[in-house]
Amino acid sequence: MPKEKPELSDAMRAKISKKTPVKNPIIGTKFTIAVSSAKGGVGKSTFATNLALALKKLGCKVGLLDADIYGPSVPKMLGINEKPKSDGQKLEPVVKYDIQCMSIGFLTDQQTPMIWRGPMVTSAIKTFTQKVKWKDLDFIIVDMPPGTGDAQLTFSQEIKMDGAIIVSTPQEVALLDVIRGIKMFDKLGVKILGLVDNMSFFIGDDGKKYRIFGEGGVKRTAEKFKKEFLGEIPLNPEVGKLGDEGKPIVESNSDHVISKIYLNFANKIKLTYL
Ligand SMILES: Nc1ncnc2c1ncn2[C@@H]1O[C@H](COP(=O)(O)OP(=O)(O)OP(=O)(O)O)[C@@H](O)[C@H]1O
Ligand SMILES: [Mg+2]
């Protein structure tokens, strides 16, 4: 268990306490669920995409909102090359695998780095939540950028968020960030549905489990902060490869042992809300 050092910065704390929350639901959906992590590269986008597909397989109507305006992943992970249509007022989500999707990556050249200032982040997120014609959805899954910054604040303070899932890898350094994420959502009054331990272990050719990044840290952190531990997802090269090819594992092989883990998470969420 890492030392419990991380605290929110003074600037972040000031921003949180300054605003009176007026929370608008995203029109066209019943429930909005964020997939978050304070640390980058732990598998949020992979989780968000497969979770959305798993909910769809369970019969839910699902949207996937890529809120990572700095490094959008949804276009690549779902193999989407088309641009959303606009009527001059509102954008139509792009539909892939029966999921309604929106990403800044549909609107910009993905190889160009995007430099966003705080108010621009807020405005992009407002566009995605208020100016997209999401239609008859049970859930919107929001793939958050890493960190505890303006995107998280805008969602938590201005948009009705029904829950957040925090994804982490088991390294000590990632766990410190998990604690920061827990504190942020608690402070902002967003219900944390639970913590997921991603890339927990690797099964070698010898059939043995190798816990490359350490063991049990995410679970211990969940227990310490009285949050639910949702479970482990192994590190499996298929997951990465299929994500890169634009047909995530849940879509291309729903019988795979890892797809079943995502379906299990999805079932939990479905039962919680519907
Ligand atoms: N369970 C897994 N097994 C193998 N590879 C995985 C797994 N989960 C994620 N990956 C891979 O790890 C890399 C990072 O994943 P991903 O892009 O989903 O992380 P992220 O947290 O969204 O990153 P960022 O903070 O940059 O948005 C990707 O190459 C992805 O394919
Ligand atoms: Mg991502």
Residue spans of the domains in the chain: they are 34-273
Residues 40-78 as b or e (16 or more Cβ within 10 Å = b) = eebbbbbbbbbbbbbbbbeebbbbbbbbbbbbbbbbbbb
Q: Band the pLDDT of 149: cuts 50, 70, 90.
A: confident
Task: Judge residue 25's burial from the number of C-beta atoms within 10 Å of its C-beta, 0-12 exposed, 13-18 middle, 19 or more buried.
Answer: middle
Q: Which of 54-68, 73-87, 108-122 has the lowest mean pLDDT?
A: 108-122
Q: pLDDT band at residue 194, thresholds of 50, 70 and 90?
A: very high
Question: pTM for the complete prediction?
Answer: 0.92
Q: If pLDDT is split at 50, 70 and 90, which confidence band does 260 have?
A: very high
Pocket of ligand 1, beta carbon within 6 A: 37, 40-46, 68, 71, 73, 146, 198-199, 233, 235-236, 239-240, 243
Residue nearest to atom 25 of ligand 1 (CA): 40
Closest CA to ligand 1's atom 29: 240
Average pLDDT over all residues of the chain: 91
pLDDT of residue 24: 84
Q: Whose CA is nearest to atom 6 of ligand 1?
A: 240
Of 45, 46, 198, best ligand 1 pocket probe by most atoms within 8 Å of the beta carbon: 46
Per the document, the length of the chain is 274
**Per-residue pLDDT band at 253 (split at 50, 70, 90):** very high
Q: What is the CATH code of the structural domain delimited by 34-273?
A: 3.40.50.300
